[in-house]
């Protein structure tokens, strides 16, 4: 009987380079002692919630380097207990099995990954396989960044791909690169995840980042610019504890002629020969076959220009194939009727703004669910109308970057566009939408185009779309009175020592039960939300501390009827059902809010916290407020929704935001509402200010309830200084 070769023997013969990632991982597991560090085999046939919980706990234990390959049954019990909400059982499992386990040692355990011995593609692919096979052993306890190829700590060496990506992100955030707000948010997301990603089971592999950039430059012939390195390092450098890619969906929006088609071609070629997916199917998809062929054409040219790629990839008029035809890359358009059967492993979706509906998108994306790490990579410029599928994806991407949509760890968003209020005549700000300006796109070309527009203003919309990446009427979008950046700066998560918004909220409330606060109420019976705000003028942020910081903390709980939830979610364009699961919104039975349940909630708050007074909008709430006042738990005072009544609270509220004196713990519903509110001057000009919403579907109920609480805070007498320090008599404190 023929003896099966070991991994070491397969490496020596070069066979390893042609094995899939799944095959290599399986062989590693077979040849590794069961009680050694690593991931157990994941059970099959479990539902999505179970798989998500398994990944969460596996990632947490892997990050601490306490998970062994034979811990599978224990890990499965932990996941079951988590889904059942059996916290005592979870505690017992963690304490009995992992809490006191010594982390698996790193020294001598991590095999160095040698650089390719030669310049051949086979050498390179072998190095990629070694990177993947060694991933679990390169993880470090409570660290997001894995060890380098030499088995040592990654040192961010100048010129390395990951170091360039981090430097680019820092330069963007710190203002050394002219950048739009959404790019700054993408850069900050990258930097924040490098600090705390491991807590969510996310890990950054600098070797993987190095490999994709090396592939692009050495084999595809593209001299990468920093923004492209940042893009590739994000998409391919981030991994989950399983070793598979973190990001499965990517949206890149950038002005025309900045090289996005070449980027798509590199993504396609990587998926064809280097992704480790068996029987890989790569599709370049668009609404028309001519458009779909653009990415395919660039990929084919890259193959023709490189001898190593030519040896591995066969070129046909309508397809590229690799590994004896097992892997294919081909263009695909919506006029192809057989898309239902596609099982794409990598999908490049070109000019998404031309897609009028999501039918084609769903067909090609859903076909990849059976793949180990499918990638849906969409590239686009702004469209001519918001009445299209791309605008929905763009809007979702913007909300992810702004923090309105959370728990989107699988989606990467990169948007280059000028900002609201930018003067498009100023060529300095053109870099915001054109990161390749001066390389693939000449400044003189844009200057001439602008000069033509000034002679013929009918071309302005096209100039803003194609060259500044602005959607029509973008200047009218989100012109609320509260700057998104200033609101985000008031999150205050670091003050409380928790990065998860809901956890930070609960922790704060537990330590401030006896601290003086004010309540606000805004009732929305069916078409709006009901909001209850607690507002602390001063608060403590450390357990057991008596010191109250001069920060005004806002905690808001929302209520809405359970009927028509999904209809409202679609119409309002926000993840209401996700916010319900995360407990920011409580669903009430029926098609209207039952104010009796709201009353019960308020009375529970008043009995738990030191609520001085509750301010309420009399509309729909007068009877409820009277009933609450009768209980003597808290006094209720009507706040008339007039500019005369609200001008003072609004001025103070905006001033506190500008001075970063507010803390809101990134409640995503409030993030959304803060972007929707216009705190505008009344039509009579001298009558003052009152809140308005941008549109019917852009709600501001949480802001309204907060202003009601703010009104009562301003009206209340200040607390005695003796509450904190006591009376002082003749130098002695009483």
Q: Summarize pLDDT for 529-555 with one digit per residue, the tens.
A: 999 999 999 999 998 888 899 999 999
Closest C-alpha to 574, from 693, 702, 413, 404: 404
pLDDT tens digits, 111-124? 454 544 456 888 89
Tokens representing residue 651 in the block: 């001025």
- For residue 420, pLDDT over 90 is answered with no
What pLDDT, on the 0 to 100 scale, is given for residue 368? 62
pLDDT tens digits, 156-172? 998 899 999 999 999 99
What pLDDT, on the 0 to 100 scale, is given for residue 549? 92
3-state secondary structure of 558: strand
3-state helix, strand and coil shares in percent for the chain, rounded to the nearest 5: 45, 15, 40
Higher pLDDT, 87 or 722: 87
* Inter-CA distances, 83 with 315, 596, 663, Å: 50, 31, 32
What pLDDT, on the 0 to 100 scale, is given for residue 380? 92
User: Nearest 5°: CA angle at 474, between 468 and 478?
Assistant: 130
Whether 64 is in a domain gets the answer no
Same domain for 138 and 31, yes or no, is yes
The span from the CA of 189 to the CA of 171, in Å, is 14
Whether 60 is in a domain gets the answer no
Same domain for 628 and 488, yes or no, is yes
What pLDDT, on the 0 to 100 scale, is given for residue 160? 93
What pLDDT, on the 0 to 100 scale, is given for residue 116? 46
pLDDT tens digits, 557-582? 999 999 989 889 888 888 898 899 98
Whether 720 is in a domain gets the answer no
Q: What is the DSSP letter of 118?
A: S
Query: Comparing 359-368, 574-583, 701-710, which segment has the lowest mean pLDDT?
Result: 359-368
- For residue 386, pLDDT over 90 is answered with no
Q: How confident is the model at residue 379 (pLDDT cuts 50, 70, 90)?
A: very high
What pLDDT, on the 0 to 100 scale, is given for residue 337? 52
pTM: 0.68
What pLDDT, on the 0 to 100 scale, is given for residue 251? 95
What pLDDT, on the 0 to 100 scale, is given for residue 639? 94
Higher pLDDT, 417 or 25: 417
Same domain for 616 and 692, yes or no, is yes
What pLDDT, on the 0 to 100 scale, is given for residue 477? 44
Whether 677 is in a domain gets the answer yes
- For residue 604, pLDDT over 90 is answered with yes
Whether 89 is in a domain gets the answer no
% pLDDT > 70, the chain: 86
The span from the CA of 693 to the CA of 690, in Å, is 10
The span from the CA of 390 to the CA of 355, in Å, is 7
- For residue 666, pLDDT over 80 is answered with yes
What pLDDT, on the 0 to 100 scale, is given for residue 110? 47
Range(s) of the domain holding residue 329: 247-416
What pLDDT, on the 0 to 100 scale, is given for residue 686? 54
Are 598 and 532 a contacting pair, CB within 8 Å? yes
Buried b (16+ CB within 10 A) or exposed e, 656-674: bbeeeebbbbbbbbbbbbb
- For residue 587, pLDDT over 80 is answered with yes
Whether 87 is in a domain gets the answer no
- For residue 365, pLDDT over 90 is answered with no
Same domain for 348 and 389, yes or no, is yes
Average pLDDT over residues 465-470: 91
β-partners of residue 692 are 678
- For residue 725, pLDDT over 60 is answered with no
Same domain for 108 and 196, yes or no, is yes
The span from the CA of 245 to the CA of 203, in Å, is 10
Whether 379 is in a domain gets the answer yes
Closest C-alpha to 532, from 380, 704, 698, 319: 704
Same domain for 253 and 236, yes or no, is no
- For residue 419, pLDDT over 80 is answered with yes
The span from the CA of 388 to the CA of 568, in Å, is 19
Average pLDDT over residues 471-479: 54
Helix (H) or strand (E) holding 330: strand 327-333
Query: Comparing 266-280, 340-354, 483-497, which segment has the lowest mean pLDDT?
Result: 340-354
Same domain for 311 and 365, yes or no, is yes
Q: How confident is the model at residue 106 (pLDDT cuts 50, 70, 90)?
A: low
Same domain for 441 and 524, yes or no, is no
Mean pLDDT taken over the chain: 85
CATH of the domain at 273: 3.40.50.300
Q: How confident is the model at residue 504 (pLDDT cuts 50, 70, 90)?
A: very high
- For residue 96, pLDDT over 60 is answered with yes
Whether 631 is in a domain gets the answer yes
Please tell me the total count of domains within the chain: 4
**DSSP per-residue letters across 622-663:** HHHHHHHHHTTSSEEEE---SHHHHHHHHHHHHHHHHTT-EE
Tokens representing residue 63 in the block: 């990050």
Same domain for 305 and 411, yes or no, is yes
Are 36 and 104 a contacting pair, CB within 8 Å? yes
Query: Integer distance in angstroms from the first to the last C-alpha of the chain?
Result: 91
| Unique residue bearing structure tokens 């507002």 | 535
The span from the CA of 477 to the CA of 471, in Å, is 10
Query: Comparing 302-306, 313-317, 321-325, 651-655, which segment has the lowest mean pLDDT?
Result: 321-325
- For residue 609, pLDDT over 50 is answered with yes
The span from the CA of 671 to the CA of 664, in Å, is 9
Question: What is the 3 state secondary structure string of 260-299?
Answer: HHHHHHHHHHHHHHCCCCCCCEEEEEECCHHHHHHHHHHH
Higher pLDDT, 227 or 385: 227
Q: Which of 245, 279, 301 is the last residue of a domain?
A: 245
What pLDDT, on the 0 to 100 scale, is given for residue 278? 84
The span from the CA of 628 to the CA of 634, in Å, is 7
CATH of the domain at 628: 3.30.420.240
Biggest CA-to-CA distance, the chain: 98
pLDDT tens digits, 33-81? 777 877 787 777 787 678 777 877 887 777 777 888 888 888 899 888 8
Same domain for 656 and 685, yes or no, is yes
| Unique residue bearing structure tokens 């989100």 | 478
- For residue 269, pLDDT over 50 is answered with yes
The span from the CA of 706 to the CA of 646, in Å, is 11
What pLDDT, on the 0 to 100 scale, is given for residue 474? 41
What pLDDT, on the 0 to 100 scale, is given for residue 478? 44
What pLDDT, on the 0 to 100 scale, is given for residue 69? 83
pLDDT tens digits, 4-15? 666 666 666 666
Average pLDDT over residues 424-436: 93
Same domain for 395 and 449, yes or no, is no
What pLDDT, on the 0 to 100 scale, is given for residue 727? 46
Q: Could you tell me if residue 154 is left (phi over 0), alpha (psi between -120 and 50 degrees) or otherwise beta?
A: beta
- Write down how long the chain is: 734
Q: Which of 476, 493, 510 is the last residue of a domain?
A: 476
Asked whether the CA dihedral 339, 340, 346, 352 is positive or negative, the reply is: positive
% pLDDT > 90, the chain: 48
Q: Which of 213, 245, 277 is the last residue of a domain?
A: 245
* Inter-CA distances, 34 with 31, 69, 72, Å: 9, 5, 10
Same domain for 239 and 251, yes or no, is no
What pLDDT, on the 0 to 100 scale, is given for residue 21? 57
């Amino acid at each position: 009987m023929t003896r099966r070769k070991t991994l070491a023997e397969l490496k020596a013969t070069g066979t390893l380079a042609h094995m899939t990632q799944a095959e290599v991982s399986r062989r590693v597991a077979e040849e590794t002692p069961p009680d050694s560090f690593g991931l157990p085999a994941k059970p099959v046939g479990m539902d999505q919630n179970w798989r998500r919980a398994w990944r969460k706990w596996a990632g947490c234990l892997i990050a601490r380097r306490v998970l062994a390959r034979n811990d599978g049954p224990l890990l499965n019990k932990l996941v079951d207990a988590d889904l059942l909400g059996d916290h005592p059982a979870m505690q017992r499992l963690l304490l009995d099995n992992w809490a006191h386990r010594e982390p698996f040692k790193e020294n001598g355990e991590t095999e160095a990954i040698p650089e390719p011995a030669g310049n051949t593609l086979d050498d390179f692919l072998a190095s990629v396989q070694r990177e993947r096979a060694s991933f679990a052993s390169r993880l470090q306890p409570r660290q997001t960044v894995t060890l380098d190829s030499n088995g040592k700590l990654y040192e961010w060496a100048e010129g390395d791909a990951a170091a360039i990506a981090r430097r680019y992100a820092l330069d963007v955030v710190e203002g050394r690169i002219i950048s739009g707000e959404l790019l700054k948010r993408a850069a900050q997301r990258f930097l924040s995840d490098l600090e705390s990603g491991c807590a969510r089971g996310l890990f950054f592999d600098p070797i993987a980042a190095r490999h994709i950039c090396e592939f692009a430059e050495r084999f595809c012939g593209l001299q990468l610019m920093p923004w492209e390195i940042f893009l590739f390092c994000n998409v391919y450098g981030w991994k989950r504890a399983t070793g598979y890619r973190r990001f499965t969906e990517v949206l890149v929006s950038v002005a025309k002629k900045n090289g996005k088609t070449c980027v798509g071609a590199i993504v396609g070629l990587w998926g064809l020969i280097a992704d480790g997916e068996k029987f890989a199917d790569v599709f370049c998809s668009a609404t028309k076959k001519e458009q779909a062929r653009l990415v395919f054409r660039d990929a084919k040219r890259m193959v023709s220009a490189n001898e190593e790629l030519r040896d591995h990839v066969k070129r046909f008029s309508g397809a590229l194939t690799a590994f004896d035809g097992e892997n294919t890359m081909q263009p695909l358009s919506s006029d192809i009727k057989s898309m239902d059967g596609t099982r794409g492993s990598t999908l490049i979706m070109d000019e998404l703004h031309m897609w009028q509906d999501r039918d084609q998108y769903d067909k090609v994306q859903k076909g990849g669910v059976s793949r180990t790490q499918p990638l849906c990579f969409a590239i686009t410029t702004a469209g001519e109308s918001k009445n299209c599928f791309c605008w929905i994806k763009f809007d979702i991407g913007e909300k992810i970057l702004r923090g309105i949509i959370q728990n989107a760890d699988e989606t990467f968003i990169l948007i280059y566009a000028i900002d609201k209020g930018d003067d498009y005549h100023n060529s300095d700000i053109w870099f915001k939408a054109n990161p390749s300006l001066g390389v693939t796109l000449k400044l003189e070309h844009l200057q001439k185009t602008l000069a033509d527009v000034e002679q013929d203003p009918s071309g302005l919309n096209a100039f803003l779309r194609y060259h500044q990446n602005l959607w029509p009427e973008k200047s009218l979008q989100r012109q609320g009175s509260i700057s998104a950046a200033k609101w985000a700066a008031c999150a205050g998560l670091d003050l409380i020592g928790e990065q998860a918004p809901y956890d930070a909220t609960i922790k704060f409330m537990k330590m401030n039960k006896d601290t003086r606060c004010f309540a606000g109420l805004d009732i929305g019976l069916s078409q709006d939300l009901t909001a209850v705000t607690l507002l602390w003028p001063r608060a403590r942020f450390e357990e057991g501390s008596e010191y109250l910081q001069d920060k005004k903390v806002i905690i808001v709980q929302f209520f809405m009827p359970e009927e028509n939830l999904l209809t409202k979610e679609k119409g309002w364009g926000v993840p209401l059902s996700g916010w319900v699961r995360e407990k920011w919104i409580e669903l009430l039975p029926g098609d209207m809010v039952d104010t009796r349940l709201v009353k019960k909630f308020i009375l529970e708050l008043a009995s738990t916290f030191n609520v001085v007074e509750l301010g309420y909008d009399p509309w729909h709430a007068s009877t409820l407020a009277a009933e609450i006042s009768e209980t003597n738990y808290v006094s209720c005072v009507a706040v008339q929704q007039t500019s005369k009544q609200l001008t003072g609270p609004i001025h103070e509220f905006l001033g506190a935001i500008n001075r970063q004196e507010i803390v809101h713990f990134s409640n995503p519903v409030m993030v959304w509402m803060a972007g929707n509110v216009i705190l505008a001057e009344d039509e009579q000009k001298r009558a003052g200010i009152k809140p308005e919403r941008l549109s019917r579907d852009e709600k501001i109920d949480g802001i309204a309830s907060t202003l009601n609480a703010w009104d009562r805070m301003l009206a209340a007498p200040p607390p005695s200084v003796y509450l904190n320090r006591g009376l002082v008599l003749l130098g002695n404190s009483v």
